[in-house]
Amino acid sequence: LGVAPQARHWVVAVGPGNNGGDGLVAARLLHGAGMAVTAVCTRTEGLPADAALALDQAQAACVKVVDTWPPPGSDGVIDALLGLGQGRQPEGKLAHIWAAMLGDPAPRLAVDLPSGLDADRGTRGIPTGLEIPRAAHTLSLLTLKPGLFTGLGRDVGGTIWLDRLGCADH
């Protein structure tokens, strides 16, 4: 809400791992704050335990969960497709949702780092193909990722925010 207080409709691109789970938590919280939210999931079966729990909670809160990108018209997009454990080439449903997200003109907020960006080096973290989504803002979780401040990261990360998620700074 802090990066786009006027926004009333969000689309969340939800990947198959825990980054997607973080996106589902954001979707649930935005929905609870009175926003219209559409969570576009690459899959809803076979998720890691934390992401599966986040999906159950989002659905219980009546967040709209779909598997295809909605028509343009949202006020903001949340990129929660791939996080730290990436490195594989996007294919299938993931590639389709990635391409749709890239084509959406709404401002983008990346969860942890823009999908496809290597967290340590600021280089492409995926072999080839789709471009790295350019974020207006990135909300880095727990710690700042060096890749956001080097190489390609400087161009695609936008304004960097940090949420330590209640963990003490040691």
pLDDT of residue 1: 58
Q: What single-letter amino acid sits at 136?
A: A
pLDDT (tens digit, 9 = 90+) per residue, 30-77? 999 999 999 999 999 999 999 999 999 999 999 999 999 998 889 999
Residue 122's Cα: distance from chain center in Å? 17
Total count of residues recorded for the chain = 170
pLDDT of residue 85: 66
pLDDT (tens digit, 9 = 90+) per residue, 99-147? 999 999 999 999 999 999 999 999 888 777 778 999 999 999 989 999 9
CB within 8 Å of 39: residues ≥ 6 apart:
12, 14, 23, 24, 27, 58, 63, 64, 65, 66
Identify which has the larger pLDDT, 167 or 27.
27
CB within 8 Å of 126: residues ≥ 6 apart:
82, 86, 87, 88, 89, 90, 116
Phi-psi region of 6 (alpha: psi -120 to 50; beta: other; left: phi over 0): alpha
Provide the whole-model pTM: 0.93
CA–CA distance, 166 with 144 (Å, rounded to integer): 15
